[in-house]
Chain A
Amino acid sequence: MSASDIILALVVVTAVCFDFTNGFHDTANAVATAIATGALKPRVAVAMSAVLNLVGAFISIKVAATIAKGIVNAHVLAGTAGLSLVFAALIGAIIWNLITWYLTMPSSSSHALIGGVIGATVVASSVHEVKVNGLLSTVIFPALFSPIICGLVAMVGTFSAYRLIKRIGEKQARKGYRYGQIGSAALVSLAHGTNDAQKTMGVIALALIAHGDISANHFYVPFWVKLSCATAIALGTAIGGWRIINTMGNRLTDIESPQGFSAESASASVILASSYYGYPLSTTQVVSGGVMGAGLGKQLASVHWNVVGQMATAWVFTIPAAAIMGGVAWEVSRIFGKSSAAGSVVIGFLAAVIASMIFQLAQRNKIGAQDLDRSHVTPDTEAELALRKTGTPPAAAAV
């Protein structure tokens, strides 16, 4: 077995691990509001999301963007050194995902991966290998506009929903919107599976091309790659990232079923419209924008701006931090030789140790499904709770 074979195996395993972390890190995107309002029990919600992530990964067989597309020059990723670079990038992305998970901050797994690639590329070659135009148009600009568009759509949607509630009646409306939440959460789960699983498939396919297992001229994603990525993201989702679900569903704003439905509908619309028109997005940022917009649509003051500030900080730091980690991983790997398998094995081992430490730390303030279960909150009690908080009936509290 050559060094190239060993590194390829490491890249494939690590990419699947990244997909797993993507699953449990981003579960919150789809189901957080449905859990927060009690529309779904936590375990039912993540099970549904897991199945739909699995299905979503197979819906589109068109290969999603490889991590290198438009971000760094292709020749950087060539050969065994290129495989090592992709491996270092994956390590950087996984570690950053775990850190933000520990800190309970929703952040973009895709941006972490891109950051890892940029960092490893800059350290391995030079800053000139990074395509600024591609970075701005496919990463930075969508990251800026997507949460704003989603927030505005969710705000208007929420405002409209509360106007309608006055005509429908509290109990019937809230019951109806709860059913709607299940549908909208399902659609976001499906979109997440399609978008994010495809990214990892692209990473593995790229590694297989660099290794010579797939011809670049007859590019395709082998079925085992599709199956392993789909399964990994579904398993990660099924584990349930309760820490981030808590932040997204409960800490950003006090959410009710009409708000949850508006936030999820807006998120699904923005994600699908943007990906159709060729703008890749972070589902995390879109859904966060939607939840904030839903908070603003009901009561301007109900958004917890301190949590929003922490989350925005995590967003800003995601690419630089993952880049630093990817760069460090590459630098450590290079000590053992640029195309040596030993370097990749060592950083793989170190990453496993760091991941284990983060998991141990997270056990100290563990958040589980039972902590988030609000299925006892019926449409009637939701209305009563809102009444207690504001002193006025929830529908009347709409701006």
Chain B
Amino acid sequence: MATLATPIINGGALWKIVLASALGGIGVVIAFGLLVLCVTRAEQVRASHGGERVLYLVGGVLCGAFCLAVIAIGIYAMAKKPASPKPASAKAAVTIVAPAARRG
């Protein structure tokens, strides 16, 4: 088998993956929980404390915006993920396409 010539682990990328996963995975759960908390509290204080209700609603909107932003970033990451090297690299192209000449 081929020998190991290049580093297997890209430490920088791994660290970014851990950070992004933690921010997305834990952040969304907390933000969503706070959103539910804010909405619940806003309903509870609806009649008595107008100012407090507005604060809870603003908090809820911010948490909801965070969740939506994370989802939007996720979909962007899906659509823009780095393209894998094509088999169209010169060497592969020659080795793979060459047999087609025999076909015709």
Given contacts A62-B81, A216-B93, contact A167 B37 (CB under 8 A): yes
For B33, the chain A residues whose CB sits under 8 A away are 160-161, 164-165, 168, 173, 176-177, 258
Q: How far is the CA of A274 from the CA of B9 in the complex (A)?
A: 13
Does any Cβ of B come within 8 Å of A104's Cβ?
Answer: no
For A56, the chain B residues whose CB sits under 8 A away are 78
What per-residue 1/0 map shows which CB atoms of A150-175 lie under 8 Å from chain B? 10011011101100110111001100
Q: How far is the CA of A265 from the CA of B25 in the complex (A)?
A: 5
Do the beta carbons of B78 and A153 come within 8 Å of each other? no
Do the beta carbons of B1 and A127 come within 8 Å of each other? yes
Which chain B residue has the least Cβ–Cβ distance from A136? Answer: B8
For A183, the chain B residues whose CB sits under 8 A away are 71
Which chain A residue has the least Cβ–Cβ distance from B101? Answer: A212
Do the beta carbons of B40 and A169 come within 8 Å of each other? yes
Does any Cβ of A come within 8 Å of B50's Cβ?
Answer: no
Does any Cβ of B come within 8 Å of A270's Cβ?
Answer: yes
Do the beta carbons of B101 and A279 come within 8 Å of each other? no
Do the beta carbons of B96 and A216 come within 8 Å of each other? yes
What per-residue 1/0 map shows which CB atoms of A176-191 lie under 8 Å from chain B? 1100100110010011
- A residues within 8 Å of B by Cβ? 2, 4, 56, 59-60, 62-66, 68-69, 74-75, 77-80, 82, 127-128, 130-133, 136-137, 141, 145, 149-150, 153-154, 156-158, 160-161, 164-165, 167-169, 172-173, 176-177, 180, 183-184, 187, 190-191, 194, 202, 206, 209-213, 215-219, 258, 261-262, 265-270, 272-279
Do the beta carbons of B13 and A277 come within 8 Å of each other? yes
For B102, the chain A residues whose CB sits under 8 A away are 79
Given contacts A77-B96, A273-B20, A277-B17, contact A265 B29 (CB under 8 A): yes
For A153, the chain B residues whose CB sits under 8 A away are 21-22, 25-26
Does any Cβ of A come within 8 Å of B47's Cβ?
Answer: no
Contact of A59 among B6, B13, B78 (CB under 8 A): B78
Which chain A residue has the least Cβ–Cβ distance from B17? Answer: A273
- B residues within 8 Å of A by Cβ? 1-6, 8-10, 13-14, 16-18, 20-26, 28-30, 32-37, 39-40, 70-71, 74-75, 77-88, 91-93, 95-104
Contact of A133 among B5, B26, B81, B85 (CB under 8 A): B5
For A190, the chain B residues whose CB sits under 8 A away are 75, 78
For B104, the chain A residues whose CB sits under 8 A away are 212
Main secondary structure, interface of A, reads helix
For B37, the chain A residues whose CB sits under 8 A away are 164, 167-168
Do the beta carbons of B17 and A262 come within 8 Å of each other? no
For A68, the chain B residues whose CB sits under 8 A away are 87
Main secondary structure, interface of B, reads helix
Q: How far is the CA of A278 from the CA of B12 in the complex (A)?
A: 12
Do the beta carbons of B26 and A273 come within 8 Å of each other? no
- Residue pairs across A and B with Cβ atoms less than 8 A apart, 14 shown, are A60-B80, A62-B81, A66-B87, A79-B98, A82-B96, A130-B1, A149-B17, A153-B21, A156-B26, A158-B29, A216-B93, A217-B93, A266-B26, A277-B16
Q: How far is the CA of A78 from the CA of B21 in the complex (A)?
A: 39
Least distance between A171 CB and chain B CB atoms (Å)? 10
For B95, the chain A residues whose CB sits under 8 A away are 74-75, 78
Do the beta carbons of B85 and A157 come within 8 Å of each other? no
Q: How far is the CA of A88 from the CA of B97 in the complex (A)?
A: 21
Least distance between A203 CB and chain B CB atoms (Å)? 11
Q: How far is the CA of A274 from the CA of B35 in the complex (A)?
A: 27
Q: How far is the CA of A127 from the CA of B2 in the complex (A)?
A: 9
For A4, the chain B residues whose CB sits under 8 A away are 103
Do the beta carbons of B78 and A60 come within 8 Å of each other? yes
Given contacts A4-B103, A149-B21, A266-B21, contact A206 B87 (CB under 8 A): yes
For B85, the chain A residues whose CB sits under 8 A away are 69
Do the beta carbons of B32 and A176 come within 8 Å of each other? yes
Do the beta carbons of A176 and B36 come within 8 Å of each other? yes
Q: How far is the CA of A145 from the CA of B16 in the complex (A)?
A: 13
Which chain B residue has the least Cβ–Cβ distance from A2? Answer: B103
Least distance between B90 CB and chain A CB atoms (Å)? 8
Which chain B residue has the least Cβ–Cβ distance from A275? Answer: B81
Do the beta carbons of A279 and B13 come within 8 Å of each other? yes
Contact of A69 among B87, B96, B99 (CB under 8 A): B87
A-B CB proximity, top 10 nearest: A212-B100, A79-B99, A269-B24, A176-B36, A216-B93, A164-B33, A266-B25, A153-B25, A273-B20, A157-B29
